Structure formats: structure tokens, C-alpha cells
Amino acid sequence: MSTSISPAQAWQRLLEGNERFVSGDAQHPNQSASRRSELVNTQDPFAVIFGCSDSRLAAEIIFDLGLGDAFVVRTAGHVLDDAVLGSLEYSVSVLNVPLIVVLGHDNCGAVTATKAAVETGEMPPHFIRDLAERITPSVLTSLRNDQTEVNDMVVEHARQTVDRLLESSQVISAAVKGSSTAVIGVAYRLEEGRAQLVTDPGPL
């Protein structure tokens, strides 16, 4: 039950699943027909994964999870908007999930496009521009800190997304203050398959 584990225990469970994935020993838990039947009228995920939509970042696979284990929300560049905030608030206030993971990854296309826009002054067209505008503060912070590589910007963007989430949602910030939920930033390394904590582990 998600409500019976702490944020630290939820993160440990994700880490253990990721280690199985990295080592090639994935167990593919909770993917049976009986598990499917158990979940028809209820769900009790132990973690929320708010990640990038990139096809190489399938949350349930990289953390070796199954049906009902994680509540997953994805946008390109894990960009926040009202629908995302509503989904995350639902996970905390209704499902009582103890951990929200903001999941970025190496060579993120949205961050790469934003870096190019900042460097050239040419913004991408249409709604892609909206994504770039929301990622721009993370890119600018990285450049001010002399971090010019895309993967450095990915880490900074994960950190800033955690901060923005807590600033934007009173529901989530209250849950964090009450220690019932933690919000952490994680960066996924495409080549090795490893998910690494990139924010202060203090909330856990």
C-alpha cells in the first residue's frame, strides 16, 4: 500500500527496480492477468513519475514496475502546465502517493531546442515555442554557471522543475511540509540506463 510506505522507502523501491533494469535482471512485476483483475476497481501507486515524453524514457520499464505501481505524467521536457499540476495534485490528495519524481534525461530534445533558441535568438515555431519558453530559465541558469553542455542543462531543468512545482501547487507544498510526500529531481542516463538523484536528498 502506498500510504504505508515513506517517501524514502518509495525512492528505495524505485532505485532497486532501476538497478535490476541496469543489470539486465528485470523481474517485470505486477504484469499478470491476476494483477490486472485486482486493479479493476482500485489503484494504489507508490510513486508519481513526472517525466519527459521521450520514447527512450519509459518510466515503468526503467524502474522495473508493473500495473498499478506508478502514476505517470509526461510532457516534452517535463514542462509544467495546469493539466500537469492538476494530475499531480490528484495523485497526492486523492491517491496519497508519497513520492513525486521529476525525471529528466540525457540529450533531451526539448532542452536541446531551447539551448539552440537561446544561442541563436530564433525561437521554434507554433506550440513548440511554448515549451522552449518554459525551459529557457533553466538553460540561462546553466549558462550563467558556465555549464554549457545539454546534459548539464537537463540536470538544472530537473532541479528547477521541482522548485516550480512546489511554488505553483499549494496542495503539493503542504503535503511536503507535512512530510507525507516528497518531491525529488532525477536524471536518467541513456547509455547506462541509470537514474540518479540530482536534488538535495533532504526531503527523503
The pLDDT tens digits for 149-185 are 999 999 999 999 999 999 999 999 999 999 999 999 9
Are 155 and 104 within 8 A, CB to CB?
yes
Confidence of residue 202 (pLDDT cuts 50, 70, 90): confident
d(CA 194, CA 191): 8
- Quick one: pLDDT at residue 117? 96
pLDDT of residue 180: 94
Residues 156 and 140: their CA atoms lie apart, in Å, by 10
Pull the grid cell for residue 110. 526539448
Judge whether 187 and 198 are in contact, CB under 8 Å. Answer: yes
- The rounded Cα 3 to chain-centroid distance in angstroms is 20
What length is written for the chain?
204
Q: Is the pLDDT of residue 3 over 90?
A: no
What whole-number distance in Å separates Cα of residue 43 and Cα of residue 47?
A: 12
In a domain, 65, yes or no: yes
C-alpha cell at 27: 523481474
Q: Please, are residues 181 and 100 in contact by the beta-carbon 8 Å criterion?
A: yes
Neighbours of 46 (CB within 10 A): 25
Are 143 and 71 within 8 A, CB to CB? no
Residue 110 lies in a domain: yes
What residues does 99 pair with on adjacent strands? Answer: 182
Please report whether residue 204 resides in a domain: no
Q: What are phi and psi of 192, to 5 degrees?
A: -90, -15
> How far is it, in rounded angstroms, from Cα 104 to Cα 106?
7
> Would you say residue 91 lies in a domain?
yes
pLDDT in tens, 39-95: 999 999 999 999 999 999 999 999 999 999 999 999 999 999 999 999 999 999 999
> What is the count of structural domains for the chain?
1
User: What's the grid cell of residue 65?
Assistant: 514496475
Contact predicate 183/98, CB 8 Å: no
Q: If we measure between CA atoms, which residue out of 17, 61, 13, 45 comes closest to residue 190?
A: 61
How much is the pTM?
Answer: 0.95
Domain presence at residue 28: yes
Return the CATH number at 98. Answer: 3.40.1050.10
The answer to whether position 185 is within a domain reads yes
Domain of residue 190 covers 2-197
| DSSP H or E stretch at residue 71 | strand 70-75
Whether 202 is covered by a domain: the verdict is no
